[in-house]
């Protein structure tokens, strides 16, 4: 994984939880660049959207 773009519905409410899930999931020796911001998402029930760029 080269990079990740993360959009949260409510960055104040969800940033800490998203960081905890991210840190538990991503290997320590393969951390990609990451940007996180707040956005109005495609559907009201969505809390997060993520785009990942990867290479094989």
What pLDDT, on a 0 to 100 scale, did the predictor assign at position 35? Answer: 97
What pLDDT is recorded for position 12? 97
Residue 18 is predicted with a pLDDT of: 96
> Using the 8-state DSSP alphabet, how is residue 12 labeled?
H
Within 2-52, residue ranges assigned H as helices are 11-25
The pLDDT tens digits for 2-56 are 999 999 999 999 999 999 999 999 998 999 999 999 999 999 999 999 999 999 9
- Domain count across the chain: 1
What is the pLDDT at residue 44?
93
Where does residue 53 fall: left (phi above 0), alpha (psi -120 to 50 degrees), or beta otherwise?
Answer: beta
**What range defines the domain where residue 17 resides?**
3-53
pTM of the model: 0.86
Check which CATH number belongs to the domain holding 20 and give it. 3.30.1330.40
């Amino acid at each position: 994984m080269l990079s990740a773009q993360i959009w949260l519905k409510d960055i104040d409410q969800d940033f800490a939880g998203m960081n905890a899930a991210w840190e538990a999931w991503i290997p320590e020796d393969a951390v990609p660049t990451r940007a996180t911001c707040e956005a109005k998402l495609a559907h009201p029930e969505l809390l997060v959207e993520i785009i990942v760029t990867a290479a094989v």
